[in-house]
């Protein structure tokens, strides 16, 4: 399950002069903002957006009791489907 996350994870060295954004357009062309729940386009766990820097979306989620964090390019994530239908 974690392998697909590692494949999509974008490893980069953040430059300190890179701007922090409040929102960014994701793969679905919908604005993604801090606090939104997203998923990778390929599926996987629902993740909370905790920071946006440039085109990078920083996310956090729980795998059992463990808090996981990862960074993805904005084009790799979409708003999570709402299960309340």
Residue in the structure block whose two tokens are 């994530």 = 77
> Per-residue pLDDT for 28 more than 60?
no
Condensed to tens digits (0 to 9), the pLDDT of residues 54-85 reads 899 999 999 999 999 999 999 999 999 876 55
Quick check: 10 pLDDT over 80?
A: no
pLDDT band at 6 (very low <50, low <70, confident <90, very high): very low
* pTM of this structure: 0.67
Per DSSP, which regions of the chain are E strands? 20-21, 23-25, 31-33, 37-40, 43-53, 56-63, 66-73, 77-79
What is the model's pLDDT at position 31? 84
Rounded Cα gap, residues 19 and 16, in angstroms: 8
Locate the domains of the chain by residue range.
2-79
Residue 18 or residue 75, greater confidence: 75
Task: State CA 22 to chain mean position distance.
Answer: 13
Provide mean pLDDT across the span 9-33: 57
Closest-CA residue to 33 (of 83, 79, 81): 79
pLDDT of residue 84: 59
């Amino acid at each position: 399950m974690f392998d697909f996350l590692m494949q999509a994870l974008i490893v980069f060295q953040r430059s300190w002069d890179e701007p922090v954004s409040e929102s960014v357009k994701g793969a679905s062309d919908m604005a993604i903002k801090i606090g939104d729940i997203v998923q990778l386009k390929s599926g996987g766990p629902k993740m909370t957006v905790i920071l946006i820097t440039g085109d990078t979306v920083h996310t956090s989620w729980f795998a059992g009791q463990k808090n996981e964090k990862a960074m993805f390019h904005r084009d790799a994530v979409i708003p999570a489907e709402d299960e309340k239908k």
